[in-house]
A = this chain, B = another copy of it.
Amino acid sequence: MTTIQIGGAKIASIAYSFDDVALVPVKRVRDAEDVTLHWKIDAYEFAHPIVMAPMDSVASPATVVEYSRIGGLAVLDLEGLWTRVEDPSEALARVSASSVDGVRRLQELYATPVDPDLMKQRVSELRDAGITVAGALSPQVALQFHDAVIRAGLDIFVIRGTTVSAEHVSQSHESLNLKDFIYELDTPVIVGGVASHKAALHLMRSGAAGVLVGFGGGATHTTRDVLGVRVPMATAVSEVAAARRDYLEESGGRYVQVIADGAMGRSGDMAKALACGADAVMVGSPLARATEAPGKGRHWGREAVHGDLPRGGVAELGTIGSLREIVEGPSHVADGTMNLAGALRKAMATCGYTSVKDFQRCEIIVDRS
């Protein structure tokens, strides 16, 4: 990255968000029908690289099953409402009834502790549905609960926090050493968020099958206001993609999946993420607009429910169609929120590419800098 002097001895890198860049077609145009979106992580294959984020407004046991049936990977939050109460329908109704900025209401609902038995039960339910079962825990509780949920049949284990480093340092309690942790597991692990080349390389060395890129950029996050932390995603994805290449060489051939996570509200953003080097994208808000979504068109992230320092709100998105219509179309809107897979195919074909791996080399421009 280019660096610049802010003042005195303070140097800063210049970073770019998806809004700052755009794709440029310079190659021969291809047919959208010739494009393949197939995505594979470890032994698991999917029809497209759009992953449903582990957020309670999007991923319920029912929508996870439905989303898997239409070809995608969906991740259930194992610390969400479904592992806190047997039937969260009343809790969800209360979010819907509260004022839009309902942080206080969320704090109350999530004050109920997670129930390890419910965790196992949810994993079993998904397993019984015959889908690839993926569940997410935060780094803080991964050590405590991973054994139970993996035994219950988890196929893919996601460790997702605002920032995850390969080694978390604490003076007061036992920390998660990801390297030790991941190597002991048989289950493939996806871990993040991360935003720099160096931190990503450390995570890759821990044995992760995939890394999540990003934090603080989503539709509902206010991490920048509260913590001052932000990493624009076009730069973050490009940096982590470079780490993937370096790790591929140093490991003699281990290819770690780079999954952009957050700040992709429209299909155009997802296309940019792939063009910057991502293998897949994890999205919340686009799927929160599904009629089946548990949030009924409202959307929030886990950072919004923190008891002392919430860093997100409840967004009112509304609903526009079924999960299947949102992913596969046909679309009846022109804003990049419907027929996400179709839009990716069209973007790739227009730019002259037929696979995600090739599309990662797509030319991009910056609007005046």
Chain A residues with CB under 8 Å of chain B are 1-2, 4-10, 12-18, 20-31, 33-34, 101, 103-104, 107, 162-173, 175, 195-199, 222-232, 234-243, 245, 266-272, 275-277, 304, 307-313, 329-336, 339, 342-343, 346-347, 350-352, 363-369
Does A225 lie within 8 Å of B16, measured CB to CB?
no
Of B10, B241, B334, the residue contacting A8 (CB under 8 A) is: B241
Does A367 lie within 8 Å of B332, measured CB to CB?
no
Does B226 lie within 8 Å of A34, measured CB to CB?
no
Beyond A8-B238, A227-B350, 10 additional contacts (C-beta under 8 Å) are A1-B5, A6-B16, A7-B235, A26-B199, A28-B168, A29-B168, A226-B334, A227-B346, A228-B272, A310-B333
Does B22 lie within 8 Å of A224, measured CB to CB?
yes
A341 shortest CB reach to chain B, Å: 10
Q: Given A166-B28, A225-B335, are A10 and B311 also a contact pair (CB < 8 Å)?
A: no
Does A29 lie within 8 Å of B309, measured CB to CB?
no
Q: How many copies does the complex hold?
A: 4
Sample of 24 A–B contacts (CB below 8 Å):
A4-B366, A4-B369, A7-B234, A7-B239, A8-B277, A12-B16, A13-B24, A14-B366, A14-B368, A24-B229, A25-B199, A26-B199, A27-B165, A31-B170, A101-B333, A103-B333, A225-B267, A225-B335, A227-B347, A228-B268, A229-B268, A232-B367, A304-B334, A308-B329
A342 shortest CB reach to chain B, Å: 5
A238 shortest CB reach to chain B, Å: 3
Q: Given A224-B22, A268-B225, are A31 and B238 also a contact pair (CB < 8 Å)?
A: no
Query: Considering the chains assembled together, what is the distance between the CA atoms of A172 and B31 in angstroms?
Result: 8
Q: Given A334-B312, A366-B14, are A269 and B346 also a contact pair (CB < 8 Å)?
A: no
Query: Considering the chains assembled together, what is the distance between the CA atoms of A311 and B347 in angstroms?
Result: 12
Query: Considering the chains assembled together, what is the distance between the CA atoms of A20 and B309 in angstroms?
Result: 24
Does A236 lie within 8 Å of B7, measured CB to CB?
yes
Query: Considering the chains assembled together, what is the distance between the CA atoms of A222 and B266 in angstroms?
Result: 11
| Complex contacts, A368 vs chain B, CB 8 Å | 14-17, 20, 232, 366, 369
Query: Considering the chains assembled together, what is the distance between the CA atoms of A1 and B331 in angstroms?
Result: 36
Query: Considering the chains assembled together, what is the distance between the CA atoms of A241 and B350 in angstroms?
Result: 22
Does B228 lie within 8 Å of A22, measured CB to CB?
yes
Does A7 lie within 8 Å of B16, measured CB to CB?
yes
Residue among A8, A15, A196, A269 having the largest count of chain B Cβ atoms under 10 Å: A8
Query: Considering the chains assembled together, what is the distance between the CA atoms of A163 and B267 in angstroms?
Result: 18
Query: Considering the chains assembled together, what is the distance between the CA atoms of A243 and B223 in angstroms?
Result: 31
